[in-house]
Structure 1
Amino acid sequence: MKNRPHFDPAHWPLAIASRSAGDETHLVMGDNVSRHRVCLRGLPAGHPIAWLIPCDALLDARLQALAALDRWLRGARRGAQMFGPTAYQARRLDLLLAILDLRRGGGVTSHMVARRLVYPRLSIGQGASWKSSPERRRTQRLIREAEALAAGGYRTLLAGRAGRQK
């Protein structure tokens, strides 16, 4: 195949971090858009690279990352972001993490979460008007979603699995 990367770190982009141990060299390479972590094992310069990928639950994500690394090593400009969330999803994840941080100490009610994080500029009711409000129901859904994320749902995000987009 034409223009495939060969093991020649002297002609690769500069490593952000590097560590060698025995016949292995671990590199973190990247630019301001992407990072690639590579482990090189006892390969003489000039030889073609063989990629070793674990065949596990993250195989699809690993193959996408490998394709991106291959393009990057050949000098291709990066296209659309493969793994990152959209701007809306990033804001939502920020909100969910903020909810977890606020509730970490305990004793924080859904009303406090709504007032401080979800509806900071809105005057939300108290008592019976709060209990029957759509703001309360939305806040409770966000709290449940944040707790599910902390209980292991983040793994789905990291694996890049398709699912309901929020």
Structure 2
Amino acid sequence: MILDAAPPIFAADLRFDPARSTHRLGSRIGPDGGHYILGDGRIMHRIWLRCDPAGVALAALIPCDSMTETRLQAVSDLQRWLRGTASESAVSRPTSYQSQRLDLLLSILDLRGERNATSHEVARRLIYPRLDVGRGAAWKSSPERRRTQRLIREAEALAAGGYRALLAGRAGRQK
């Protein structure tokens, strides 16, 4: 989320200095401001602070795009967390199964990207590591090949922009 000095006409009361936070997990200062990751093991906040926070009330800048609702929820979560009243976020989190599937899809993209692996190699190394997936005609007519090809297409769609729907909480059909 993007934070900057609040205009004086607003009664903003969000004040904190992430550089002094005991929950700072990472930071980088650049010409455009400070970039911080704050968290406590349960929740993590990524903040772009565009001003010096010392003695300044802060306001959130929310781009009006397809992720506006998610950004608003993130600001609300940060404000509750800073006040010590954090509750479980309404932003959807993937289930254990969904996390494993996303991990598999990312592994497929990595393997295909680093060595342009064939679908047979993807199946043998990632999807069916303990199964002899066959060769030639046996592989071409196998259900394992069809499933592998579906997973490759899904991974490529995710990389081509489908991840935005996940981030916005619109994952569509749950797999």
Please report the TM-score for the alignment, with normalisation by the length of structure 1.
0.76
Structure 1: 5+ residue runs without aligned partners?
A: none
Verify: 1:128 aligned to 2:137, yes or no. yes
- 1:45 is matched with which residue: 47, 51, 55? 55
The Cα offsets for residues 109-156 of structure 1, whole Å up to 9 and x where unpaired, read as: 212211111011122232222222211110010011111122222222
User: Alpha-carbon deviation of 1:76?
Assistant: 1.9
Q: Check whether the contact 2:105–2:155 (CA below 8 A) recurs between aligned residues.
A: yes
Q: Determine the structure 2 residue equivalent to 1:70.
A: 79
Measure the CA separation in 1 of the matches of 2:48 and 2:70: 15
Q: CA RMSD in A?
A: 3.0
Verify: 1:150 aligned to 2:159, yes or no. yes
Q: Check whether the contact 1:18–1:28 (CA below 8 A) recurs between aligned residues.
A: no
Verify: 1:112 aligned to 2:121, yes or no. yes
User: Alpha-carbon deviation of 1:162?
Assistant: 3.8
Q: Secondary structure at the match of 1:122?
A: coil
The Cα offsets for residues 53-105 of structure 1, whole Å up to 9 and x where unpaired, read as: 22222101101111211211120244267343221111111111111122222
Q: Determine the structure 2 residue equivalent to 1:7.
A: 15
Letter in 1 for 2:95: T
Alignment size in residue pairs: 159
Q: Check whether the contact 1:96–1:146 (CA below 8 A) recurs between aligned residues.
A: yes
Measure the CA separation in 2 of the matches of 1:20 and 1:141: 42
The Cα offsets for residues 35-57 of structure 1, whole Å up to 9 and x where unpaired, read as: 2215264677385x543322222
Structure 2: 5+ residue runs without aligned partners?
A: 1-11
Q: Identity over the aligned pairs, expressed in percent? A: 54
